[in-house]
Structure 1
Amino acid sequence: MSSARRDFWQAIGMGLLIAAFALLVLWLKVAGLLLALTILGALIVLMQRYDTTPEVESLRASLAIARDDIAETLALYDDLLTGMSAEAIADRTLHVPALADRGTTNPVIQDFHLRADAARRFLQRVDGLLASNDLDRPQLERLIAVADERADSLAASWQDARRAAREIGPG
């Protein structure tokens, strides 16, 4: 629905609401006024919660970008574990085999494995939240901050783990 058409229907709806509120006040006097104010308050809360403004859509897109940053780092790790390219096989067998070993005792690599597992769970939650339309602006802003922080820490942990695994070597 175009913006002009949506605005038209919103104006029609507001006009009908005003007419209904006026009738409530005329018929029920003080009780009608209280009822109209209660309904108006509920409508304002609902409109703020479910109104998809360009700002909310922009925040949803930002959350999707932060989500993709996390997924990109996890894809690099998955490629190391299961990739069939010559580079992935060389990394897995010669350069950084400790990174593929879940039983390693190196704390830097263990930290990356824990962060990767947590990131996978976080992505599942974010995907579910992005599929719903229940998020408002403050919730999206908090999620974006968390997702950005997780993406940065996962990428840094990935680099640190690769460096530590390279120091350990194939042995």
Structure 2
Amino acid sequence: MKLQSVDALGFGLVGVVIAGMYIGGVRPLQTAYADTVSLKAELWLAKNKLEESKASESRASAIAKELSDKLQELDIELSSIDQMNTRLSLVTRIAEEAGLTLESVRPGAEVQRERYRAVSINLVGRAGYIEAGAFLEELLRQFPDTGLESIRFERLRSENQITGRLQINMIWYAAPDGSIKNTG
């Protein structure tokens, strides 16, 4: 069988029709499918990111609520700065009851802010580790409006026991001017 020009023309037309179908139909479908797969991948990533954000927001909300509840439990009323001598005598009493031998208790610099006044209190004395710990525990229990800025314990050896020189810098947070809440 001989190939004739009509046959070649038929094969050519069939090739053109197939190429036209590919260019006109199959290729756009492949492009649309690739775009669909890409969009689905982006959607999946966005969905995972949204779930992570929701989980993070949920954790942050739980932590914020927990901290807010703890803050409500504290409910510390700040004393008036006019009670400085009373505060110093109470700190001295607590120190002596804990077994400290005081060398000095002095108020330091005062810083005034909108919601509080902060006064440093410097305490120097001699004590053992146990006495120093008992003093700090009782101080923080009785005065939740007092913070510790620094503690220094220099070990001193005596004949009978090990003691040390204790230096404590505290911050007493007092009520701002014009708002007397509590004494002590």
Q: Give the TM-score of the pair, scaled to structure 2.
A: 0.28
Q: Which structure's relative contact order is higher, taking Cα pairs within 8 Å and 6+ residues apart?
A: 1
Larger radius of gyration: 2
Q: Give the TM-score of the pair, scaled to structure 1.
A: 0.30
Q: Which has the higher helix share?
A: 1
